[in-house]
Structure 1
Amino acid sequence: MKILIDSSIVSKGGGVQVALSIIENIATDENFEVICVVNTEIDKQLSLSAKSNIEHYYVENIEPIYRKFTQGKRISLIEQKHKPDFVFVVFGPAYWKPKAKTLQGFALGKMLYEKELNIGLKEKILNIVKKRIFQWSQSYLLVETDLVKTKLANYLGYLPEKIFVIGNSYSPNFKKNVVANEEKITKKVDFFQVLVPGSYYPHKNLERIIFSLIYIKNNQNFNNQIKVVFTIPENSNEWSNLLILAKENGVDHFITTVGFVENSKFAELYLQSNAIICASLVESSTAVFPEAFLANRPLIVSDRPFAKELCEDAAVYFDPLDEKSIANAIIKLANDEKLQQLLVENGQKILLKNYPSADQKWSLQKNLITRLYSK
């Protein structure tokens, strides 16, 4: 089958990991002749062996929203040139309409929670535009949880039969680096390190984590030293704003950032940490959960339906809109080694129950593409 993979839209966060995993797998699969469109960030992290196995490889710039349609025209010309049998847009919406049968990934969880979130007029308008583009495409859609499938079908007015679910997973590189380093790298013992993996987005709710540190600082029952580690570029406005907020509240000594971390290096950071926190208000899915389970690190997460569906009894939950609740969850876990061990053990079970392995996920993706193409 001749297939065009369009990963031009995703440039940060978990979407990059998903794109890399798909491209690395399909590049070595003899059943596919691949035309691949990536952006500069994907190109930077993709292995040389994968690139060498892709016969037709195109690199696009990371464009602002107002240039996406112009970029879409360029990608449409690539489709016209190669005439693929099938198009897979890793995450949409694609700002072009393929002529071939198309499957698009969906990871815009905030669109489905407008009523619950206080979003501005500009974002509401962008959501309307993206909604119309998805409806215009009439492509098949791929999501990572049943909850998102139900909400998305209602939001777009889509037939549920056109939306497919394949659970999220960790990348092959993440697993390889966990296995290679779990004996060499151990979690901190002189202080309790909490990792906040991922890029900055408003819905990640990172400011609340900063405010929670005020309660931790003033809690007399908490005897541990704590360090909250972010993965936000040190020279970015987002980190500057978080640091200012922390300094204003006298908790800047509790936080640090290691800056941007390539996908292949994330495993080492997990292994160095005592716990992983996800304070997001909404997620369509996230690789943070299976990565924490695989690295044997306990989770502290928002008490939200998306998290309960994916983590079950393998996390300590908190109200993401209540800084004191976040602080209490961190303190509870840091002070209870038996709880930490229980969550790790539960995480191993949930990993097998709710998440395909990296190889299994590719097998599911391949089978879905083949089945849709044959329809």
Structure 2
Amino acid sequence: MRVVINTTTLNKGGALQVAYSVVNELSLLNLEYSFLILCSVPFYNQIESAKLPNNFSIEIVKKTPAKLITRNRVIKILNKAVEEFKADIVLTIFGPSYWKPKVSHVCGFADGWCYYPETIAYKKLKPFDQLKRKLLSKYKLFYLKRDSDHIFIETEDAKKRLIKILNLKQEEVTVISNTYSSIYDQVRLFGKRHQLLLDERKHVDEIRFLLLSANYPHKNIQIINEVIELLKTEIEHFKFFLTIPEDDYNKIIKNLNKKYVVNLGTVKVEQCIQLYQNTDFLFLPTLLETFTATYPEAMVMKKPILTSDLSFARDICRDAACYFDPLDSKDIVKKIKKVINNPEIKKRMIDNGIVRVKDFPTSKNRAINLLELCLNINDKK
């Protein structure tokens, strides 16, 4: 089988991590299949250092089909690549692809805005922005349905919602859960290979919170301004570590609060290991997720999780996290103090995380499941 892995719509965030993990795991399986990776520039920046076997080839697509102004030109490039590669199937991680390949097409989807219309994330948007977001969701869903022969999604709840919204059949959507990358099972190897990103602690009692996320409105990063204002009256030495572009950092974080924040900029997947190693808590005040891999990553790295008291977080973390109201800075600080001042609670969260993470599939199994899905869809042609 000849498989095209399409990442041309990937720009930032967790989708890049998923694509990296899938490609990495497939490359380790010693398969007789041939793979062509159609890379967005951000994804190529992640994968360029990987040592892929000879049955993998890469083509960089510098423009995205997501933009109308470049779509027709990009689609011609994609169609030509698929034809010349003599592909049997296209696997898009993630869609919508804004392109209907001339062969079978399996497309992933993980945009919670589109199937959680009741999300509190809308409360953070201005009325005009709410309208834009709702129209964008309809736009994405239209292309997702039009361009996909089969859709994979990360949770059963998301599957039920998507089937209802798009009037799909059960057999047209498959759940393939998110998980942590296998690089987290190789901590020593990667710890030696990658330069330390964080400075040594200036104070032995400095508490470090890692907010490992791209900058999207639903990530609610700006709440840390309010949290810092309250927390600095309670704790003397602490820092928040962000991984967002410098321009975003300067827009979001108030100058007065920058002494409590370190922005590392965009980091590669394998560098995240050292971020976990050198911080104390995963702090994620997100308002909307389908399944973020940062939760199982923190569990496997034995880091306590401080996150939003919302259903998606509880479904994934269960008793491995301390939950707060993500829109209430006072509640956030209250829960931070609760965990910091109670070592037994912190240890219990870590222990529960070690148990909980075993419930998730390995990244190898996820890659195999995706490949088997492609085989099944291809066989039905």
Whether TM-score is above 0.5 comes out as yes
Change (3 A) 1:256 1:178: same
SS of 1:206's equivalent in the other structure is coil
Q: How far 1:87 moved relative to its partner?
A: 1.1
Q: How far 1:287 moved relative to its partner?
A: 1.0
Q: How far 1:38 moved relative to its partner?
A: 0.6
Report the equivalent of 2:23: 23
Q: How far 1:51 moved relative to its partner?
A: 4.5
Note the residue ranges of structure 1 that are not aligned, 5 or more in a row: none
Change (3 A) 1:49 1:334: closer
- What CA RMSD, in Å, does the superposition of the two structures yield over aligned residues? 2.4
Does the Cα contact within 8 Å between 2:37 and 2:57 map onto a contact in 1?
A: yes
Map residues 25-64 of structure 1 onto 2, 5 A cutoff.
25-28=25-28, 29-48=30-49, 50-51=51-52, 53-63=54-64
Report the equivalent of 2:333: 327
Q: Which amino acid aligns with 1:215?
A: L
- CA distance in 2 between counterparts of 1:345 and 1:192 reads 20
- Percent of pairs with identical residues: 26
Map residues 137-286 of structure 1 onto 2, 5 A cutoff.
137-177=147-187, 181=191, 189-218=204-233, 222-223=234-235, 225-234=237-246, 236=247, 238-244=248-254, 247=255, 250-286=256-292
- CA distance in 1 between counterparts of 2:237 and 2:72 reads 50
Change (3 A) 1:33 1:193: same
Change (3 A) 1:68 1:285: farther
Q: How far 1:166 moved relative to its partner?
A: 1.5
Q: Which amino acid aligns with 2:155?
A: T
Quick check: 1:362 aligned with 2:367?
A: yes
Change (3 A) 1:79 1:179: closer
Does the Cα contact within 8 Å between 2:33 and 2:55 map onto a contact in 1?
A: no
SS of 2:253's equivalent in the other structure is helix
Does the Cα contact within 8 Å between 2:183 and 2:190 map onto a contact in 1?
A: no
Report the equivalent of 1:10: 10
Q: Name whichever of 122-131 and 85-94 sits farther off.
A: 122-131
Q: How far 1:50 moved relative to its partner?
A: 4.1
Change (3 A) 1:240 1:202: same
TM-score, normalization by structure 1:
0.90
Note the residue ranges of structure 2 that are not aligned, 5 or more in a row: none
SS of 2:208's equivalent in the other structure is strand
Does the Cα contact within 8 Å between 2:5 and 2:37 map onto a contact in 1?
A: yes
Q: How far 1:206 moved relative to its partner?
A: 0.7
Does the Cα contact within 8 Å between 1:7 and 1:19 map onto a contact in 2?
A: yes
- Give the paired residue count: 364
Does the Cα contact within 8 Å between 2:281 and 2:304 map onto a contact in 1?
A: yes
- CA distance in 1 between counterparts of 2:212 and 2:188 reads 16
Q: How far 1:326 moved relative to its partner?
A: 1.5
Q: Which amino acid aligns with 2:221?
A: L
SS of 1:320's equivalent in the other structure is coil
- CA distance in 1 between counterparts of 2:235 and 2:98 reads 53
- CA distance in 2 between counterparts of 1:152 and 1:273 reads 37
Quick check: 1:65 aligned with 2:80?
A: no
- CA distance in 2 between counterparts of 1:128 and 1:227 reads 39
- CA distance in 2 between counterparts of 1:44 and 1:181 reads 20
1:103 to 102, 106, 114: 106
Q: How far 1:69 moved relative to its partner?
A: 4.5
